Structure formats: structure tokens, C-alpha cells
A and B are shown apart, each in its own frame.
Chain A
Amino acid sequence: NAGVTQTPKFRVLKTGQSMTLLCAQDMNHEYMYWYRQDPGMGLRLIHYSVGEGTTAKGEVPDGYNVSRLKKQNFLLGLESAAPSQTSVYFCASSSGTGAFFGQGTRLTVV
């Protein structure tokens, strides 16, 4: 049972480039989340989804877009990467009583 799988695990982008982070869960969870983790700031919610075809903004949504076309997948897109988006990104899924996390994607924007 894989749980929550994030792809890729590491990526280096140049300023202005775009990319998509993929999150896949095999637990049939309704809720999925994207967070970023920065030193001293904990995890901040970027966007989340309460079901297939739905998305909502979290605490720090600017510069990111998401899509949930299939229940098991939640994509996070950066249209034009900026150095301020250098971070570790975590995806999580939940059935409603506690979230399961992926291993993270370390993104560096130079």
C-alpha cells in the first residue's frame, strides 16, 4: 500500500519556468491538500480539495494553481517560478480524521 506518493522528489527550476507537482493517493480519501514548509514557519496550506473536481484556496495560494480531475490525484502547478517559491512541498490526503502525508518535494528556484 503506497499511501501518498509525490513526484518528483527534487527539482531545480530557473526563475520564470513552470512545473507541475503530482500527488497520488491510493486510500480513496475525499480530501487532499498541498502545503509548503519553510524554516520557522511550519506548514502553510496552499490549496486544498474536498472532492473530485473541487479546489479551494488556503493560506498562501498566490503563484500556484491546482487541479483535481481524478479523486486519487491532486496536481500543484507553478506558472512562473520565483525564488520565493523555494521550499519543501508536502501533499496530504484525509478521510476527515487526520491526514496522511507524502515524503515531500524539495524545490529550488534559482
Chain B
Amino acid sequence: AQSVTQLGSHVSVSEGALVLLRCNYSSSVPPYLFWYVQYPNQGLQLLLKYTSAATLVKGINGFEAEFKKSETSFHLTKPSAHMSDAAEYFCAVSDSSASKIIFGSGTRLSIRP
């Protein structure tokens, strides 16, 4: 069975600081991995995805994530936080057929002025 664990339900950083949101996955087969962002009262938007190509994946809004098989991790980073990055972020995993997508419990990102 596949699962993801997001460490930290709430992360707060200062504007301009590094953003690091942690995600660890469990999968018995090579996984597809995703990060989604959700702004208040909206649906989820795909930030980036790993589908077994390059291990460093670049997404929208300056975010990137690195797939580390040895650590079963797929952490999301952004070098410099912006106020508009405040949202909830979800890590998700599926198998290569993408027939079932399982989400983590989410991390709420707050940005301090």
C-alpha cells in the first residue's frame, strides 16, 4: 500500500526566507510523486510532479522538489518565500499507472512580513 507522511502540519517562515516542506513516501513500486497547493476556498492546483525522469523537478511559482529514493523523500523547496505563497500544500503518491492517488495530511504555510 502506498502512503505519504508530511512532517509538520504548520510551517511559518519570514518573507524572503527559504521554504522547506517535508514529505516522505512509502511505495512498493516505483512511485509517481506530486505536490499540490490549495488556496483558501479553492480546489487543488498541481505544483510539480515526479514521474521517474529527472530527480530534481521544477514547478510553478519558483518551487522545486528533489526525489531521493534512498531517503524515500520528496521535499518541496523555494529559495525565497513570498507573501503570496501562503497556502496549504499537499504531497501525494501514486503508482506508475496513476490509478490511485493518495494524499498526505497537508502542511499549512504561513509567511511573516
Contact = CB atoms under 8 A, between A and B. Distances in A.
Given A48-B99, A56-B99, A101-B43, 4 more contacts: A41-B105, A45-B100, A90-B44, A92-B44
Interface of A: 4, 31, 33, 35, 40-45, 48, 50, 56, 58-59, 90, 92, 94, 96-104
23 contacts: A40-B9, A40-B105, A42-B6, A42-B104, A42-B106, A43-B44, A43-B106, A44-B103, A45-B100, A45-B102, A56-B99, A90-B43, A90-B44, A92-B44, A94-B98, A97-B32, A98-B34, A98-B49, A100-B46, A101-B44, A102-B43, A104-B42, A104-B43
B interface, how many residues as a size bin? 20 to 34
Contacts of B46: 98-100
B22 to A, nearest CB: 14
A23 to B, nearest CB: 12
Contacts of B6: 42
Interface in B34-87: 34, 36, 42-46, 49, 51
A4 B45 CA distance: 12
